[in-house]
Amino acid sequence: MSLKLYNTLTRKVDEFRSIRPGEVALYTCGPTVYNYAHIGNLRTYIFEDVLKRSLGWCGWKVKHVMNVTDVGHLTSDADSGQDKMEKGAAREGKSVWEIAGFYWQAFKEDLVRLNILPPDVWCKATDHIAEQIGMVKALEAKGLIYRLEDGIYFDTGKLGDYGRLARLDVAGLQAGARVDLVQGKRNVTDFAVWKFSPKDSKRLMEWPSPWGVGFPGWHLECSAMALKYLGEQLDIHCGGVDHVAVHHTNEIAQTESITGKQWVSWWMHGEFLTMGEGARMAKSEGGFLTLQALIDKGYDPPAYRYFCLNAHYRQQLAFRWESLDSAATAFERLRNRAIELRQAAAANSAGTADAQTASSGRLADFREAVEDDLNMPRALAAMWGLLKNSKLPARQAWADLLDMDRVLGFGLETIQPRKIEVDADLAARVEKLIAERTAAKKEKNFARADEIRKQIAELGVELKDTPQGPVWRKL
Residues in 83-122 at the binding interface with ligand AMP, rule: CB under 6 A: none
Segment contacting ligand AMP by CB under 6 A, of 29-37, 142-150, 222-230, 451-459: 29-37
Task: Provide the 10 A C-beta neighbour count for residue 21.
Answer: 7
Candidate residues 16, 40, 66, 152; the one interacting with ligand AMP per rule CB under 6 A = 40
Least distance to ligand AMP from the beta carbon of 271, Å?
Answer: 7
For the chain, how big is the Rg over CA atoms in Å? 27
Least distance to Zn ion from the beta carbon of 177, Å?
Answer: 24
Nearest to residue 335, comparing CAs of 268, 223, 236, 415?
415
Tell me the backbone φ, ψ of residue 29, rounded to 5 degrees: -65, 130
Segment contacting ligand AMP by CB under 6 A, of 7-15, 26-34, 190-198, 302-310: 26-34
Q: Of all residues in this chain, which one has the CB nearest to ligand AMP in the complex? A: 240
Least distance to ligand AMP from the beta carbon of 39, Å?
Answer: 8
Least distance to ligand AMP from the beta carbon of 135, Å?
Answer: 20
Cα distances (angstroms) measured from residue 337 to each of 42, 181, 255, 309, 365: 26, 57, 49, 18, 20
Segment contacting ligand AMP by CB under 6 A, of 24-32, 194-202, 259-267, 343-351: 24-32
User: Which residue blocks in 142-194 are alpha helix, DSSP H?
Assistant: 170-175
Q: Return the amino acid letter for 261.
A: K
CB 409 within 8 A of CB 49: yes
Q: Give the start-end residues of each E strand in 69-168.
A: 121-124, 145-148, 151-154
316 contacts: CB under 8 Å, gap ≥ 6: 271, 272, 273, 274, 278
Candidate residues 26, 29, 42, 434; the one interacting with Zn ion per rule CB under 5 A = 29
**Taking CB under 6 A as the rule, does residue 314 contact ligand AMP?**
no
**Taking CB under 6 A as the rule, does residue 49 contact ligand AMP?**
no
**Taking CB under 5 A as the rule, does residue 123 contact Zn ion?**
no
Q: What is the 3-state secondary structure (H, E, C) of 344-391?
A: HHHHCCCCCHHHHHHHHHHHHHHHHHHHECCCHHHHHHHHHHHHHCCC
Q: Are strands 234-240 and 264-270 parallel, antiparallel or unpaired?
A: parallel
Candidate residues 170, 282, 358, 449; the one interacting with ligand AMP per rule CB under 6 A = 282
Candidate residues 26, 29, 244, 394; the one interacting with ligand AMP per rule CB under 6 A = 29
Pick what 301 binds: ligand AMP, Zn ion, none; C-beta below 5 to 8 Å, kind-dependent: none
Least distance to ligand AMP from the beta carbon of 103, Å?
Answer: 10
Pick what 242 binds: ligand AMP, Zn ion, none; C-beta below 5 to 8 Å, kind-dependent: ligand AMP
Nearest to residue 286, comparing CAs of 81, 42, 36?
36
Candidate residues 7, 18, 44, 67; the one interacting with ligand AMP per rule CB under 6 A = 44
Candidate residues 164, 280, 314, 378; the one interacting with ligand AMP per rule CB under 6 A = 280
Cα distances (angstroms) measured from residue 95 to each of 88, 98, 129, 214: 9, 5, 19, 18
Pick what 222 binds: Zn ion, ligand AMP, none; C-beta below 5 to 8 Å, kind-dependent: Zn ion
Residues in 216-275 at the binding interface with Zn ion, rule: CB under 5 A: 222
Least distance to Zn ion from the beta carbon of 218, Å?
Answer: 8
Least distance to Zn ion from the beta carbon of 224, Å?
Answer: 11
Identify the helix (H) or strand (E) that includes residue 473: strand 469-474
**Taking CB under 6 A as the rule, does residue 273 contact ligand AMP?**
yes
CB 300 within 8 A of CB 331: yes
Nearer to ligand AMP, 6 or 196 (CB): 6
- What sign has the CA pseudo-torsion 425, 431, 432, 433? positive
Segment contacting Zn ion by CB under 5 A, of 27-35, 79-87, 102-110, 466-474: 27-35
Cα 29 to Cα 247: distance, rounded to the nearest angstrom: 10
Segment contacting ligand AMP by CB under 6 A, of 258-266, 279-287, 367-375, 384-392: 279-287
**Taking CB under 6 A as the rule, does residue 270 contact ligand AMP?**
yes
Cα 203 to Cα 22: distance, rounded to the nearest angstrom: 46
- The rounded Cα 293 to chain-centroid distance in angstroms is 17
Residues in 237-256 at the binding interface with ligand AMP, rule: CB under 6 A: 239-240, 242-243
Helix (H, G, I), strand (E, B) or coil at 69: strand
**Taking CB under 6 A as the rule, does residue 386 contact ligand AMP?**
no
Q: In 457-466, which positions are buried (b, 16+ CB within 10 angstroms) versus exposed (e)?
A: eeeebebeee
Nearer to ligand AMP, 273 or 309 (CB): 273
465 contacts: CB under 8 Å, gap ≥ 6: 471
State the number of binding residues for ligand AMP (CB under 6 A).
18
For the window 186-225, what string marks contact with Zn ion as x by the rule CB under 5 A? ------------------------------------x---
Binding site for ligand AMP (CB under 6 A): 29, 31-32, 40-41, 43-44, 239-240, 242-243, 270, 272-273, 280-283
Binding site for Zn ion (CB under 5 A): 29, 222
